[in-house]
Amino acid sequence: MSVLGYSREKMLAVFLAKTYCLPILLYGCETWCMSSSDKHKLDVAWNNCFRKIFNACWRESAKPLLFYCGTMPVSLRIDQRKMIFFIIRLYVALTLS
């Protein structure tokens, strides 16, 4: 796998993807009604981004790449943001009543 060598350009590309692409991809995801196939499609797009950065083959798993870069799949981030949104909404509702 091409992750074994350290390269500043690749880590810079990962940083830019996490900084600019991920917030745009997840904008408003707290209110989305998504099926599991929609989450899978987003995960595939995110994995393909990492495969493109590290020049990995499409048959290789992207999990080692995500682990190496310290990120998690998009579907988990969506679930996390939905949970935080729900907790904040519940807290506001309880404090106002």
Q: Containing domain of residue 16, as a range?
A: 8-96
Residue 3 falls inside a structural domain: no
Residue 64 falls inside a structural domain: yes
Residue 67 falls inside a structural domain: yes
Residue 86 falls inside a structural domain: yes
Residue 12 falls inside a structural domain: yes
Question: What pTM does this model have?
Answer: 0.76
Residue 1 falls inside a structural domain: no
**Direct distance between the N- and C-terminal alpha carbons of the chain, in angstroms, rounded to an integer:** 56
Residue 2 falls inside a structural domain: no
- The pLDDT tens digits for 27-44 are 998 888 999 999 999 999
- The pLDDT tens digits for 73-92 are 999 999 999 999 999 999 99
- The pLDDT tens digits for 44-67 are 999 999 999 888 888 888 888 889
pLDDT for res 1: 45
pLDDT for res 59: 86
pLDDT for res 7: 67
Over range 5-16, report the average pLDDT: 79
Distances (CA, A) of 1 to 4, 15, 45, 77: 7, 20, 19, 25
The structural domain count of the chain equals: 1
